[in-house]
Amino acid sequence: MILGGDGLDSDVVKNLEYLYRSLGYSVVKMVKNIPEDFSGLLVISRSNMLSNKALENCKVKTVIIYDYVGDSINNFDYLSFLSQQIDSVIIYSTSYERMAQLRDLVDSRECATDISINFSLLPVFPKIWIAKKRHSRISRPIHIGHFKSGEPREMDPIKENFLGFLKRENAIIGGRDWPETFSRGILLGEINLRTVSALYAKCEIAVGLMYPFQRQHTYSGRYWHAPLNGCTVLSEETRYSAIIPGVISCDLSKSLSEIRENCNLSPDKLMLESSTFWKNSTNFHIRDLRKKIEFHLFWSLVNLTVFLIREKCGSISWISRNRRILMKLDSL
């Protein structure tokens, strides 16, 4: 089960769903609550608004949490409650600062089980995001994302430069709540994920802006989605733009013609570099996940063996199923 406390990010969840289906799990997506009879693997992608009450009927043995930097660290208070009921909690974060805060939180609470906190980029599977059709590229920049109103309340120079750039360059804009003042460009409204891939495949340049709480702690989905389709991303400076192919940190107070001088990758070369990067990054995540699942399964098998000896009965179905999962992990 993939659970979101206050919703699910569709691109993140699609990658997670592909990952866990590949491992042999059937996937159910839920928001806020866990069914009373659920006893499988629990994957949490947004823990905001999760409460002890929502988890009180949890019968799972292992929980995997993908840290969402929009969640306050205090929202993780449910960990101490959760640890009383399960065997293992595995947390993945894209931010070393958040990892340190989570460790401090865990150390300050009485947790009855092992809580593993690890750095990892989120899994991305290029083949499900690359548009099937190739197009001639258009030079007008594109931005895909909902209008970020009121974030933050104080003046944000990065946001002001970003909005000014979209207006000056008559950008193509996809997403909700964009004011009519941007209508000199093309306002597409809300669009689905499949259409997003096709749009990136038609454009040379994508423009991005992240919420202040995201900057330096994580990266936007466009950081992988656009380059996988040969589209270079222009965005504010982050630590991730230095390592992720196809992302250029730039000052959007400048004109597009000035910025283009740094966009020296051909679309085909960019697609190849981006695909290779995300395949390698995701394989690293799978290997790490495999080790942790294997460690948990080892002790589960020990406990099961003790139980079978005591009960003088046996069943290999549970063992066989989990071995098949590990074999599928090896083949990815």
The DSSP code sequence of 197-226 is: HHHHHHBSEEE----TTTTTT---THHHHH
Q: What are phi and psi of 321, to 5 degrees?
A: -60, -45
pLDDT reported for residue 221 = 92
Q: So what's the pLDDT on residue 304?
A: 44
- The predicted structure's pLDDT at residue 315: 47
* pLDDT given at position 317: 52
DSSP codes, 12-42: HHHHHHHHHHHTT----EEES---TT--S-E
What confidence score (pLDDT) does residue 292 get?
82
**The pLDDT of residue 18:** 92
Inter-residue contact 146 to 114 (CB < 8 Å): no
Tell me the whole-structure pTM to 2 decimals. 0.82
- Can you list the residues of the chain whose pLDDT is less than 50? 299-304, 307-308, 312-316, 318-319, 325-326, 332
pLDDT at 153: 52
Say how far residue 160 (Cα) sits from the centre of its chain.
27
Which H or E run includes 144? strand 142-144
State which CATH number among 1.10.600.10, 3.40.50.2000, 3.40.50.720, 3.90.1150.10 fits the domain covering 126-272. Answer: 3.40.50.2000
Where are the domains positioned within the chain? Answer: 1-119, 126-272
